[in-house]
Structure 1
Amino acid sequence: MPQSIHNQIEENIKTLKKGTIIFSTDFREYGTAENVKRVLIRLEKKEILIRLARGIYLYPKKDKILRTIFPSTEEIALGIAKRDKARINSTGALALKQLGLSAEIPMNLVYITDGPVRKIKVRKSIITFKKTTPKNLTIKNKKLNAVIQGFKELGKENINENATLKIKKVLCQLPVKNLKEDINVAPTWIKNLISELIKNK
């Protein structure tokens, strides 16, 4: 393998901002997938990169106290979606965390997507991308999506006063424009519940 490939990739990486998530596919122009893989493994051994998952690396940012600052699993998921030019929306436990209905940071994140279906192990977590219908990805406002997915996760029978108050607070922060139209993609019971919560908005 020509040494120049190694040098080119290393020089390219060193122009990036510390803390950048890097994919092996970012370097297709420099050589074959196998040669790029070998270079990235060498850079990992030199401690220039940290491997996060298969084909995914971190150009690490250091902190005097915290040492290496790792991106959140959610940031990695967003990076994967950007690379794949795919749309994703959070679901389940992550949606509840985003709404303030759970203090627990989920180890395993599940996203609905119009991109490839896959499971990716990132350090101690697993990111799952599940296929969904296009209508479930039409909502661009992430907070409104979290509300809909949060309701789905809780279930109709488990929505208490505390959950209702917290979700209403989130909804009150959202622009009224297009809100009533956007909730049409939600199941009828969620649509009716949201409509009631924003009735006087």
Structure 2
Amino acid sequence: MRQDLSGKMSKSIELQVLGKIKRSPRGTLFFVDSFTTIANAKSANKALERLVKSEELERVAQGIYVRPVIDDYIGKVLPGIEDIAVAIAKRDRATIVPTGSYAMYKLGLTTQVPLSIVYYTDTSARKIKIGKQSITFKKASSKNLAFIGEASMLAIQALRTIGKDQATDSEIKQIKKILKNENPKRLQHDLQLAPVWIRKIIAETK
């Protein structure tokens, strides 16, 4: 009798979890704690795992799930690694800033998608595996998180990765092209956060 009751409760939780997921657009990312109004973490986690087994959901990383977008030609389309990082930041109410080779990729300075994406953050440091890729969140100072321009932030982080006196003419040309679309006030604000040698390069792009 108890097993029957337990099974019915589990099924009820599973249906409620699936119902909430189906009310959101396909491609929306969910975490175990997205369902705290339905069940406790343990029960929600079990429901999500059952939904993965029944192929209603895909598990993209530990504790992160999605009902994939279905494309007519290529079938299931899973969220990109940046979508996952942004969803985690939103859940944690965290600020994140892309750094390193990923900043370079976002600017078009390299065509190779890095397997390891690194973000500065104001929350705890951690690493999350997403298939063959990974997201690393590095705890950073408030100065490294104070950028307000998307293009200028990426340009500064990319130049830091390239290194002083190492940027090629083509890289500087690409940065110059992208920064033309940056809000001048935001660019000016972000320049104050950059090392002097980066300020000089960016000042020449005006």
* TM-score with structure 1 setting the length: 0.94
Query: Aligned partners of 1:51, 1:159: CA distance in 2, in Å?
Result: 40
Are 2:126 and 1:126 equivalent residues in the alignment? no
Structure 1 moving runs of 4+ over 2 Å: none
Match of 1:166 in 2: 174
Match of 1:30 in 2: 38
2:32–2:44 Cα contact (<8 Å) kept: yes
In the alignment, residue 61 of structure 1 is paired with which amino acid? V
- Gaps of at least 5 residues in structure 2 are 1-5
In the alignment, residue 103 of structure 1 is paired with which amino acid? T
1:92–1:149 Cα contact (<8 Å) kept: yes
1:170 aligned counterpart, secondary structure? helix
Match of 2:3 in 1: none
Match of 2:113 in 1: 105
In the alignment, residue 69 of structure 2 is paired with which amino acid? K
Q: How much has 1:49 moved relative to structure 2?
A: 0.4
Match of 1:17 in 2: 25
Question: Percent identity at matched positions?
Answer: 38
Instruction: Report 1:1-201 matches (<5 A).
Output: 1=6, 2=9, 3-198=11-206
- Gaps of at least 5 residues in structure 1 are none
Query: Aligned partners of 1:88, 1:141: CA distance in 2, in Å?
Result: 13
Query: Aligned partners of 2:130, 2:156: CA distance in 1, in Å?
Result: 27
2:156–2:198 Cα contact (<8 Å) kept: yes
1:180–1:195 Cα contact (<8 Å) kept: no
Q: How much has 1:157 moved relative to structure 2?
A: 2.6
- Map Cα deviations across residues 37-72 of structure 1 (whole Å, 9 max, x no partner): 100001001111000011001111111221101111
User: Matched residue pairs, number?
Assistant: 198
Query: Aligned partners of 1:56, 1:176: CA distance in 2, in Å?
Result: 38
2:105 aligned counterpart, secondary structure? helix
Query: Aligned partners of 1:111, 1:165: CA distance in 2, in Å?
Result: 25
Q: How much has 1:189 moved relative to structure 2?
A: 1.1
Query: Aligned partners of 2:173, 2:186: CA distance in 1, in Å?
Result: 22
Query: Aligned partners of 1:35, 1:61: CA distance in 2, in Å?
Result: 26
2:148–2:189 Cα contact (<8 Å) kept: no
Report the CA distance shift for 1:178/1:41 in structure 2 as closer, same or farther (over 3 A).
Answer: closer
Report the CA distance shift for 1:37/1:178 in structure 2 as closer, same or farther (over 3 A).
Answer: closer
Q: How much has 1:141 moved relative to structure 2?
A: 1.7
Q: How much has 1:101 moved relative to structure 2?
A: 0.8
